[in-house]
Structure 1
Amino acid sequence: MRMQRLAAALLVALVAGCGPAAAATDDRVPSFGPAPPLPYAVGVRQFVLDPDGPRPLPVTVWYPAERATGIPATTRPTAGPAGGAVVAGPVARPDAPVAAGRFPVVVHSHGLRSLPELHAPLTTRWAAAGFVVAAPAYPRTNLRARDFTRADVRNQPADGWRLIRHLVRLDTRPGDPLAGHLAVDRFAATGHSAGGFTTAGMFASGHSPRLRAGIVIAGGGLAGSFAGPVAPLLFVHGGADPVVPESVGRAAYARSLGPAAFLSLPGQGHGEYLTPGRPGFAQVLAATTDFLRWILYDDRRARSRLPADARLPGVTTLTTRALPR
């Protein structure tokens, strides 16, 4: 009961009303290859979904790009104080040509008073690993929102599904650079803080099987979350998080159905481990990338690497439940 009261206080009564609309049907079977063995260069583009509607949604998209001669693919490496060297981050080139092939899609949700670009240390690296990452700026919780209200989080799972439906249509739109490059049957949802709650809300009862996996970072569940179909979930949480206590994340982990993992960072707060060079960043990056490659690319080697990549004594711990080999 105490846990329920705490979660309710944190969410300011964010209750029902966050179930997804049905995704558009699509009988195509996209051509799809194995997980890429080498990183891609990264491109970035922006568009506004439903600009004249009641909830316009600016979206930033990072994607695997063709490598341009003479342009560096990464920034300079930085040293990680607890986990060794941190791999340099990609330099995202605006409107760079999309790399050949089809790529799984990750819908990434920001937290309260944040923006998609503030999550670039993760999103650009996921794009380099072979994913199209689409990050909306939610209309009433982003950093620049004129009518900010945290209660609007309950409406954001529907925004996420609206974006998924748009991307499915975009994949068939003649002349769009991303057309033919999206594996529209292989989506994941990820998010930090309020974006983590948003991600959980996208896994409401009857959600489309297009949504195959979720990563909840420093978040928890919304009403109706994790009701099926079953999808593997990864939870990431700081053990001393003062904003969303780890107990809230662990309660969501316990409620979730099917395969799940919980990556804890003892002694850490609400998200410093998402900054390159900080303790735990290398483990969070490796674990989330392994998880996405395992589920969305059917990469068994990534599944095998996950436990070792996620654990660093004194920095991270990993708990798993029913993860298939």
Structure 2
Amino acid sequence: MPRRRTPALVVAALLTVGLAACSTEAAPAVWSPPAEPSPSATPTAAGIPPGQAPEEAFAVGVRQLRVNRDGDRPLPVTLWYPARGEAGGAAERSAPVAGGRFPVVVFSHGLNARPTDYATLLTRWAAAGFVVAAPTFPNTSRGAAQVNPLDVLNQPADVSYVLTEVLALDQRAGDPLRGRLATDRVAATGHSAGGVTTIGLFTLGRDERLDAGVVLAGTALGVGSTFAGTAAPQLFVHGELDEVVDYSSGKDAYDRVPWPKAMLSLPQGDHGRALLTDRASLRVVSDTTVDFLRWSLYGDQAAKRRLPANATRGGLATLDNRL
């Protein structure tokens, strides 16, 4: 991606925190979509045909994938995926993959963070029927030899490369995910600096394979707000008391999205602690993002209809719904 001059604010604005909460429903061994969708249902803006997402949770497996872009940008990927077994426990390393084909969700972590900081939320997504691929970025992750916040501008290209490698597993002989990926149903998601990365995948670094996006406490600083390419529904989530990425900055990026979109706003939410570590708030964020992904990647119209109730449950958030 081309580099741009970025305000000094972005250096401070790309921080992150961990997450907490979980789902405990029982899981089916195999999932398959219904044979016939409702005749009144219509495809999503990205062209995903009407369908039905799994209604019960899966057990979750976790594994690592070694990826290196151009030989000098190591991007180890943590994969969470639907697994066979009883739902509700911790993710099991290298657990057998559940039967079915599952959409792919790429997740980008924030500055000085790692994918495992978000394990609770990402496990929740995997339990709902998604394969979640979360790379560790070489220059913005915790433990990096030299942290460089402006390297976030290179991360949309990193994510596109990771996506290519992950989708290739569907055809790789002997890989546990062979034949298990819905390679034509893909979303990009991310928090803070990862939210910047995610926006970049729909603006300057548009990846046309993406059907939807979820931006958590993100901003368009450095990657532009000219959304391009085929329509891809977007969900923004932002705390109105965010002390790192100002709420107005996230709202401005949201306002510039020309496609179907929604914004979940938490009046008492900050950059991450209240937004994502508080159990009640995380439940709202989790359920809302899961149903958005169910609709945008499975074409599940019932999930779309549930969004307003999930978002406003308990009076913790409001939803600007333009989906």
Alignment of 1:164-243 (within 5 A): 164-204=163-203, 207-221=206-220, 222-223=223-224, 225-243=226-244
Distance 1:40 1:289, change over 3 A: same
Q: Which moves more between the two structures, 274-283 or 91-100?
A: 274-283
Is the CA contact (8 Å cut-off) linking 1:206 and 1:228 kept in structure 2?
A: no
Q: Which residue identity does 1:122 align to in structure 2?
A: L
Is the CA contact (8 Å cut-off) linking 2:239 and 2:275 kept in structure 1?
A: no
Distance 1:32 1:155, change over 3 A: farther
CA distance in 2, matches of 1:93, 1:286: 22
CA distance in 1, matches of 2:184, 2:206: 13
CA distance in 2, matches of 1:316, 1:283: 8
Q: Which residue identity does 2:133 align to in structure 1?
A: A
Is the CA contact (8 Å cut-off) linking 2:104 and 2:130 kept in structure 1?
A: yes
TM-score, with structure 1 as normaliser? 0.82
Match of 1:140 in 2: 139
Residue 228 of structure 1: how far off its partner (Å): 2.4
Q: Which residue identity does 1:167 align to in structure 2?
A: V
Match of 1:63 in 2: 81
Show structure 1 runs of 5+ residues with no match.
15-30, 75-89
Residue 52 of structure 1: how far off its partner (Å): 8.0
Residue 156 of structure 1: how far off its partner (Å): 0.3
Q: Which residue identity does 1:59 align to in structure 2?
A: V
SS in 2 for 1:8: coil
Match of 2:28 in 1: none
CA distance in 2, matches of 1:202, 1:300: 26
CA distance in 2, matches of 1:98, 1:295: 23
* Residue 37 of structure 2 is aligned to residue 36 of structure 1: no
Measured against aligned partners, the alpha-carbon deviations of 1:79-119 in whole angstroms (never above 9, x if no partner) come to xxxxxxxxxxx410000000011100000010000000000
Is the CA contact (8 Å cut-off) linking 2:269 and 2:275 kept in structure 1?
A: no
SS in 2 for 1:187: strand
Is the CA contact (8 Å cut-off) linking 1:226 and 1:255 kept in structure 2?
A: yes
Q: Which residue identity does 2:143 align to in structure 1?
A: R
Residue 229 of structure 1: how far off its partner (Å): 1.9
Measured against aligned partners, the alpha-carbon deviations of 1:252-272 in whole angstroms (never above 9, x if no partner) come to 001111111110111221112
Residue 300 of structure 1: how far off its partner (Å): 0.3
Show structure 2 runs of 5+ residues with no match.
14-30, 34-51
Is the CA contact (8 Å cut-off) linking 2:225 and 2:253 kept in structure 1?
A: no
Is the CA contact (8 Å cut-off) linking 2:160 and 2:207 kept in structure 1?
A: no
* Residue 61 of structure 2 is aligned to residue 47 of structure 1: no
Measured against aligned partners, the alpha-carbon deviations of 1:280-316 in whole angstroms (never above 9, x if no partner) come to 1111011000000001000000000000100135411
Distance 1:43 1:250, change over 3 A: same
Q: Which residue identity does 2:197 align to in structure 1?
A: T
TM-score, with structure 2 as normaliser? 0.82
Is the CA contact (8 Å cut-off) linking 1:218 and 1:244 kept in structure 2?
A: yes
Moved over 6 A (4+): none
